[in-house]
Each structure stands twice: as C-alpha cells, then as structure tokens.
Amino acid sequence: MDASSFDHILRKVVIVPIVAILVGAGILAWQIQSASATVTLIQTQDERINQTLGIEQLIVDQETGLRGYEVTHDLRLLQPYLNAQAKFPETFRKRRELAATNPARQKALDALRSAHDTWEQSFASPLISTIQAGGDTNDVALNYQGKLLMDEIRKRIADLNVTTVHAREVAVEHWHKQVRNTIFFLIACSILLGLTIGLYVRRLIKQVSGAFRQSHNVLRIRAEQTFRSEEKLRTTLKSIGDGVITCDAEGRVQSINDTAQELTGWSETEARSQPLDEVFAIFDETTRQPLENPVTRVTRSNQTVRLQNHTILKRRDGTEIFIEDSGAPIRDKHARLVGVVLVFRDVTLAKRSQQALLANEKLAVAGRLAASIAHEIHNPLDSVSNLLFLMDGVATDEERTHFLLLAKQEIARVTQISRAMLSLYRESKAPVKIDLREMLDSILLLMEVRFQTLGVHVAHDVPGGLCVHGFPAELRQVFTNLLTNAAEASGPGGTVKLAALPQPARNDEDGIHHDEGVIVTVEDNGPGIPENILAQLFQPFFTTKGERGTGLGLWISRGIITKHGGTIDLESSTAEQHHGTTISVFLATNPTINPAPASS
C-alpha cells in the first residue's frame, strides 16, 4: 500500500463516521422539528381554550351584572355587564383568528356569536329597558326565555371547549408519541451507527494493519537488500584498484578505501573527519605550488572535475607520486550537494614509461635526420676545404676574395643547419611567440636531403606574419613527423604540399566558439589510407611501416597539438583518380596551454 492509498483510508476513517453522524443528526433534527411543531400546536390549542374561557367569563359577567341590576335596579351593579359587553367583540375576534385554518370551528364560533347576540337583543337589552322604564321584571315567561337563550350559549361554549380540549389531547398524545419515537430513534440510531462505524473502521483498520505488515515486510526485505548492497559496495571499494575518498560538503573525509590508504599513507581511522587537504596534499609538478582542493572545485562548479595531469600527491611519509584523478558531486534526492567522491590512481610508472617513449621517439626522429644532416653539413665543409685549397694556390686577389665569400656562405649554411638541429630539442620553459614560416622553413632545410633521397618534391605556401604561441621544439617535432610520413607515403616522383592559412575567430552551426588561429595542412598524393586503418592511426604502437616505424609519431603529435589547445584532423582517399592523404592542424594564436602530457 502506497502513501496515497493509506491517506485515502485515513480520510475514510474520518469522513465516514462524520457523514453517518451528520445523517443521524439530520434525522434527529427533523424529529425535533416535528415535535416542536406539535408543541406549537398544543400551545395554540391552549390559547384557544383560554380565549374560549375568556368569552365564557365575559358572558358570565354580563349575566351576573344583568341579574344584579334586575334585582336592585342599581346601575352600579349593571357595570360588569357593560364592561363585558364592550370587551366581547375584540375577544371574540381574537378567538376567531385562532380558528382561521379550521372552517368548522369558525362556524361554531359564528353560531356562538349569533346565540350571544340573540340573548342580548331578545332578553338583555329589553330587560334593561323595562327596568329603566320602571316596568315589571318578574315576568316568568320573559325570564324563562332568557334562561333558555343562556343555556344555548353555555351549550355552544361547552361544545367549543370539548372540541378544543379534544384537539389538544390529540396533539399532546401525538407529541408523546413523537418523544417516544425520538427516544427510540436515538437508541436505534446510536446502536446502528456504533455498529456500522465500528465494523467499517474495523475493516479499514484491518486493511491498514495488513498494509503495515506488508510494508514492514517490504522494508525488512529492502533493509536486507540495502545491507547486502552496502556490504557489496564496501567490498568493491576495498578491492578496487583505484583510490576512493568520500567527503562531506565541508571537505572532511568520511571514508577511504584500502588503495587510497596505501597511496596516501593514511589509515581510515586516522583520516576520518580530517580535512581533505591534510590527507590528500597535491601540488603542481612544474611550479611546485599547492593545487586547489578538488572538493572546493566540485562545490564551486557543481559538476565532475578532473585534476591536471602534472599533479603530484605528497604521501604522509613525504614521498611523492604522480596521480590522475577526478572528483564528482554526491547529491541527495533533492539534487542538493551533500558531499564529494574523489577517485585517483598512481600513474608514476605510466608517466615514466611515457617519458621513455617520448625520448625514444625523439631519438627515432633524430636518427631519421642524422644521415641527411651529416650529408648536408659534409657538402658545405667539402666546399670550404676546396675553396681554402684554391685560395692557398695561385689564385689572384680577386679570386681569393670571391672564394672567401663563397666559403663564408657555406659556413653560414652549416651554422644554420646546426642551429635548426639544436632548436629541434631545445625546449623553452614557457610558451613563446613562434613565426610559423621561419619554423617550417628550418624544418624543410633539415629534411631537404631526405626529400631528395626519397625523390619527393615539396611545394610550400606559408605566408609571413603567421604567428602562434607555444613550445617551438614540440611543434617542430610534430611537423617533422607529418612531413616525413607524407614524403614516405608519396614515394619517388610524389609531391608533398605544405600550406598555412589564417583562421579568423568564428562560431560554428552548433554555437561553439572557435578562437583565431592558423590552419597548417600537409597533403601528399600517395595511395591513401584504407578506412579500416584510419581509426587506428592515432593509437600508440600502431604502424603501417613495419620495423621502420615505432607507431608513436601520430600519437605523440596529437598529444602535443591537444596540449597546445589545437586540433589535428586526417582525411584520406584511396580512389583511383584522386588519392592521397591530407592532415590539417589548427593552432590558436593565443591558446590556453593545456599542461597535459603530449600523449594525452
């Protein structure tokens, strides 16, 4: 059961009893309202009875006042009659209004009023007039008629009272019945609601209980899986060949695997909660300056970062090793940075092997040029020897002057060749401004004899003023390799084209910015390179020259160009009509020199 289902059940537990109670309360309110209406009816009946009794009392007052006046002829005793006579119309009107919804009662009231009017007109008023006139009021017939009329009035009042009292008794009985029904309903509703809510809640609680047991089992299984996963991860971290250090967001070490302990010289117990700078002290190989804490770099960029390839780790015992590493952020489920994981490895042996390979490749390049350079130097020296011999002979002064000038030119040529040879391996400690035309001309000068031996014609179009910043010896090595490969691919009678063009700053179709620089192309008209070989050309130790090649030239060349922030691209065609290979090298005018080694 997921959280939404659990919330749905909880809502049912709350809502269903409330709805049931509201329904019961509604029915109860209806019962109470009905009983209240019955009570109102009883009160109305009581008021009717009271009004009828009021009418009866007025009639009694009239008869009493009339009989007293008849006996005494004293007007003071007639006053109750007169007062009741004045009040009778209003009292009767109110009584009739109470019977407005009952035509039968209105008819009975009208009959009472008619009987009263008859009594007043036929007996009371004539009797008063007779007394006032001094007549005889002992007339038996007249008094008997008055009695009959009064009996009729009393009968009407009695009938009206009986009807009203009966109606009241019916209403009272109905009210008692409603009270009993309400009490019964309350009891029945309470029992029914209690049972319904209890059974319903019991069913829901059973669902929740079942879901809880299921969730408990799932959590137990997941806990076991998590434990096994953590154990597997812990075992993996202990046995992994790379060093792994995890830190919190503040850069304090949380865990360190066995390899990292061996590489740093810190045990896990000693390293835990220590600042990463204490455990993982790194600095630059060249400048010997401390490097920025990887945790700081990851926290600032919030992405995976890699250390410079010239990074040295100072172990706890003071020894130093070359390392390569990367740092990656650890995020919680809300994508907030909660820590950093650092993975690194010892590349000391690989770096030394790489340096040995670079040295071997330089020696190979030097070996390929040695014969050509020796021959190139030998020829001018032979010329100088011959010129000196001629100058020592019977030559005239004018001839000696001419011979001396030729000897100086040959010595200058030897000096130029030797300087070009020295510059091939004389490395500067920082990037310098390089005139590409001057550098490429010196390379062509050194390789002139090599091109002649291979029977290759070199056409070059390198305008002056094209300058870049970089390491001259490394770039000379690159173009020496490329020109040598092109000449050997072209073969006797072939042609190698060397060209350079300025490249303005631009943005490509993907919006990527390209800096201002120079594109140098080396094109040959050899047979071309098959597609199945193209993908392997830049891999170390792969060569198509057999024992004549080391398989390192292009690999090292690409590393040097990458170090200079440039690119090297190769296109080749094996078509019958148009075949050959073109290598394009882009060098930025003011690159950001990547301190990575040449093999990167």
Rounded to an integer, what distance in angstroms lies between the CA atom of residue 127 and that of residue 318?
Answer: 148
**Contact of 62 with 84, CB cutoff 8 Å:** yes
Task: List pLDDT tens digits, range 499-524.
Answer: 999 988 887 777 677 788 999 999 99
On the question of pLDDT at 107 being above 90, the answer is: no
Query: What are the CA-CA distances from residue 346 to residues 240, 293, 321, 480 (Å)?
Result: 13, 18, 7, 33
Q: What is the mean pLDDT of residues 563-568?
A: 87
Three-class DSSP category at 519: strand
Percentage of the chain lying above the pLDDT 70 cut: 84
Q: How confident is the model at residue 599 (pLDDT cuts 50, 70, 90)?
A: very low
pTM for this prediction: 0.39
Whole-angstrom distance, CA of residue 437 vs CA of residue 445? 12
Q: Is residue 539 classed as helix, strand or coil in its secondary structure?
A: coil
Instruction: State which H helix or E strand residue 400 sits in.
Output: helix 397-423
Distance CA 438, CA 445 (A): 11
Q: Which helix or strand (DSSP H or E) is residue 457 part of?
A: strand 457-461
Low-confidence winner among 57-61, 148-152, 231-235, 288-292 (lowest mean pLDDT): 231-235
What confidence tier does 596 reach under pLDDT thresholds 50, 70, 90?
very low
Q: What is the mean pLDDT of the chain?
A: 79
What was the pLDDT predicted at 357? 66
Provide the pLDDT for residue 498.
93
pLDDT band (50, 70, 90) for residue 495: very high
Sequence-distant contacts of 92-97: CB under 8 A, at least 24 apart: 92/55, 94/51, 95/48, 95/51, 95/52, 95/54, 95/55
Q: How confident is the model at residue 488 (pLDDT cuts 50, 70, 90)?
A: confident
Candidates 148, 158, 147, 152; CA nearest to 52 is 158
Query: What is the pLDDT at residue 600?
Result: 38
| Segment 290-314, tens digit of pLDDT | 887 777 778 777 777 776 566 888 8
Q: pLDDT digit string (tens) for 420-430?
A: 555 555 556 67
By DSSP bridging, strand 567-574 and strand 506-507 are unpaired
